[in-house]
Structure 1
Amino acid sequence: MPERYRALVALAGGAGLRWGECVGLTWDAIDLEKTAIRVGRVGIEVAGHVTFKPYPKTRAGRRVVPLPPFVVKLLRAHRKLVPPGPAGEVFTNEAGGPLRRTVFRAWIWRPALVRAGLLGKVVQVEPRVWRASWRDRDGNEVIEEFPNRRVARARVSRMAQGGLRFHDLRHSYATWLVSDGVPINDVARVMGHEQISTTLDRYTHAFGAGAEKVRDSFADFPLTFEADEDESGP
């Protein structure tokens, strides 16, 4: 991921923010000393134009989210690297304007997936030949060769189907919390879910390992029932 956007990705994966919440975030909502952020302002993109609302779509969306150390570190570096936007926005494009999700996906996100080996594959097969491979809409593998790595990666980025979505970082965040035993009501709160049932429906699949922890917690439980030798009957 280009350095300019590393804190953006970290915030989605390490604090569970939605895209619009990241785009609308301003520096006055971040307390790096207390390692927390106030989520409220959101960016909304319609027909390629980004506008901002001072509040999310639900009351639960207004929340305070704790920040893990790696997110704090990247935000500090980002503040030194990138000037704030007109209203103090944390994340802007290279011209200082609002980030557009469609542009970010095409020019930043998907190329980064290719470089990370998470979308298609690009390998050098000869001194001036790079082979690119990816899956098309029907799941068939497509292979083409190019004169340099940059062109090969760009082709995979445009043509490959599927791949990790930016929103999947938010899902990963919630899954990590549930898997690590964070109470489901706390997970719902930091995710901004209005109904705890939403959290349960989406993330209880991550409870597999948690179920084993529950069993282990009772492994040495002293309460046992043994039939009295003098007892009779069923």
Structure 2
Amino acid sequence: MGEAFALRRRHVELEQGRLIVAESLAEIAGKHVFDTPKSHQRREITLPGFVISALRSHLGRLPQDSDALLFTGRTGKALHYNAWRRWHFDSAVDAAGLKDVTPHDLRATHATWVADRHSVMVAARRLGHSNASVTTRHYARAVEGRDREIADGFDAERGTRDGSEDRVARMWHEEDDKEPTALSPL
């Protein structure tokens, strides 16, 4: 959440459809401290259209100052995690009829979705991890039902060949004997 709380107007590039993650906000002894993200590297995150639309509307209510924080408390100052959690996040979880959901759960859900559809490396980059093992160890989870999809995929592949199991096995074996290319299986 520290990366979200540290976002400023200058970090939003609506025309390019992205956010720049360049800072993080931590709370030390009740005081806000801005620093670099955990990876100490700035990164860009491409946003879906509905988020761009919501940000466009949100930016219209903010001061024009490029240093203006995107998300602030009622006083206009940086958010305190516990207050944000109590007043905004937990009440939204309750309103959705959910139980025991944390911001970390949402991050893990996002990581799992991205890793499942686009690869662990893409998820690691999106989350700001320099090593994909951090993503798999702490965030991405196995998605139920994928094993069935794999088996169904083999059946579909078999059906696209000429229906002959022997022909499919021979084709795959012959492809294995070839030099690997970018488009052939290893």
**Pair in the same fold by TM > 0.5:** yes
- Secondary structure of the equivalent of 1:200? helix
1:66-215 counterparts in 2 under 5 A?
66-83=46-63, 87-119=67-99, 163-179=100-116, 181-203=117-139, 205-215=141-151
Return the structure number with greater relative CO, CA threshold 8 A, min gap 6.
1
1:28 aligns to what? 10
State the Cα deviation string for residues 90-135 of structure 1 (Å, max 9, x = none): 111121101000111122222333333224xxxxxxxxxxxxxxxx
Is it true that 1:58 corresponds to 2:39 in the alignment? Answer: yes
Counterpart AA for 2:7: L
Structure 1 residue 204 displacement after superposition: 5.2
Structure 1 residue 214 displacement after superposition: 3.5
- Secondary structure of the equivalent of 2:112? helix
What stretches of structure 1 of length at least 5 have no aligned partner?
Answer: 1-18, 120-162, 226-234
What stretches of structure 2 of length at least 5 have no aligned partner?
Answer: 162-167, 171-186
Name the CA distance, whole Å, in 1 between partners of 2:123 and 2:21.
15
Instruction: Check 1:109–1:29 CA distance in 2 against 1; reply closer, same or farther (3 A cut).
Output: same
Counterpart AA for 1:70: F
- Secondary structure of the equivalent of 2:60? helix
Name the CA distance, whole Å, in 2 between partners of 1:204 and 1:32.
28
Structure 1 residue 170 displacement after superposition: 1.1
RMSD: 2.4
Q: Is the 8 A contact 1:27 1:88 kept in 2?
A: yes
Question: What TM-score results when the alignment is normalised by the length of structure 2?
Answer: 0.75
Name the CA distance, whole Å, in 1 between partners of 2:77 and 2:65.
7
2:169 aligns to what? 224
1:144 aligns to what? none
- What stretches of structure 1 move > 4 A for 4+ residues in a row? none
Question: What TM-score results when the alignment is normalised by the length of structure 1?
Answer: 0.61
Name the CA distance, whole Å, in 1 between partners of 2:108 and 2:55.
21
Is it true that 1:44 corresponds to 2:26 in the alignment? Answer: yes
* Identical columns (%): 30
Name the CA distance, whole Å, in 1 between partners of 2:140 and 2:37.
25
Q: Is the 8 A contact 1:84 1:91 kept in 2?
A: no
Q: Is the 8 A contact 1:22 1:42 kept in 2?
A: yes
Counterpart AA for 2:22: G
